[in-house]
Amino acid sequence: MAFVDAYGPWAVVTGASSGIGREMAIDLASRGLNIAVIARRTKRLEALAGELEAAHGIETRVVTADLATDDGVQRVAALADELPVGLLVNNAGISAPFVPFHELPLETISQMSRLNMLAPATLMHVYLKPMLARRRGGIINVASTAAYQPMPLMANYAATKAYLLNLGDAVAQEVASHGIDLVTLCPGPTETEIVGHVGLDTDGAMQKMLMPADRVARQAIDALGRRRIVIPGLTNKVSAIMAQRLVPRGWITRMIHATLRRTLAKDAGDAS
Ligand SMILES: NC(=O)c1ccc[n+]([C@@H]2O[C@H](COP(=O)([O-])OP(=O)(O)OC[C@H]3O[C@@H](n4cnc5c(N)ncnc54)[C@H](OP(=O)(O)O)[C@@H]3O)[C@@H](O)[C@H]2O)c1
């Protein structure tokens, strides 16, 4: 089946104002899908929508929504009644600076948990119904390699991504026989704005590990109907397999804690 017939005519992409979500929107538009772009920064969304219409002759919809709020999630959920959406990309997500869990403000924990878990779960629930009725469609959830093990100093972020990975993989099994393809994308370090938000510099060592966001986005889209979990990059794949199957959980948890603490101490020393 042609891509548009399988996953069109409309795609909803959350977190489309930058990074992986923006690249998902560009890639999907180039494959002929109309795109609804969702995020908080309206100007960026409008600029992207204009570019996509001009470059690919598709239709777009811009929806400004804070997906950490009920109102924002409901606004995006309402699109399911207006547009024939064949593909949902649950990409919007936030991380936080590397700190022990007890130092993370409660408000940040709440916002991150709502955005990274409740919003994609709600949107999946809403958009699956019309897809199931049509017996076709796709969902891409953006988790992380952080989902594969406990991560001291980014405990809540890793836990939210573990939720999304396990939720998505279970639902993928439930809906596979109904003609719906669900892919969970687990990127490792990727060149986007979020990397600046966590506050690791490390002499450019981090920079060398970053994958380009367009490659990461393309791998997830190419996996629709073929694979349920995508981990872009060989190093990321090997680390995830080691964390999940080969290395004792306690050992890897201690190793991550020690590595991040050392890196943070070094960055603090360099900055002073
Ligand atoms: N980059 C990495 O290394 C990496 C690794 C693993 C997983 N990921 C995951 O990849 C996804 C995309 O992140 P990215 O790396 O592309 O970072 P990014 O460039 O910071 O993109 C995040 C997107 O989410 C949107 N967003 C943030 N808070 C929002 C809110 N409350 N409501 C609605 N939209 C919101 C942002 O738009 P506005 O600010 O305009 O709202 C932006 O479009 C995230 O789920 C992230 O956890 C990233």
Atom of ligand 1 nearest to the CA of 145: 6
Verify whether ligand 1 is closer than 6 Å to residue 164 (CB atom). Answer: no
Query: Distance between CA atoms of 73 and 27, rounded to whole angstroms?
Result: 24
User: What percentage of the chain carries pLDDT values higher than 70?
Assistant: 96
Verify whether ligand 1 is closer than 6 Å to residue 66 (CB atom). Answer: yes
Q: What is the pLDDT of residues 12-68, one digit of tens each?
A: 999 999 999 999 999 999 999 999 999 999 999 999 999 999 999 999 999 999 999
What residue ranges do the domains of the chain occupy? 3-271
Q: How far is the CA of 39 from the centre of ligand 1 (A)?
A: 9
Verify whether ligand 1 is closer than 6 Å to residue 91 (CB atom). Answer: yes
Q: Is 203 left (phi over 0), alpha (psi -120 to 50) or beta?
A: left
3-271 in CATH: which number? 3.40.50.720
Quick check: 230 and 223 in contact, CB under 8 A? yes
Q: What is the pLDDT of residues 76-105, one digit of tens each?
A: 999 999 999 999 999 999 999 999 999 999
Q: How far is the CA of 133 from the centre of ligand 1 (A)?
A: 30
Q: What is the pLDDT of residues 242-264, one digit of tens each?
A: 998 889 999 999 999 999 999 88
Examine the residue annotation and report whether 127 is marked as an active-site residue of this protein.
no
pLDDT at 244: 87
The model's pTM is: 0.96
Q: Which of 167, 198, 186, 191 is nearest to 241 (CA)?
A: 186
Max Cα-Cα span within the chain: 60
pLDDT at 268: 76
Q: How far is the CA of 61 from the centre of ligand 1 (A)?
A: 19
Q: Count CB-CB contacts under 10 A for residue 21.
A: 26
Q: What is the b/e burial string over 230-264, where b = at least 16 CB atoms within 10 angstroms of the residue's CB?
A: bbbbeebeebbeebeeeeeeeebbeebeeebeebb
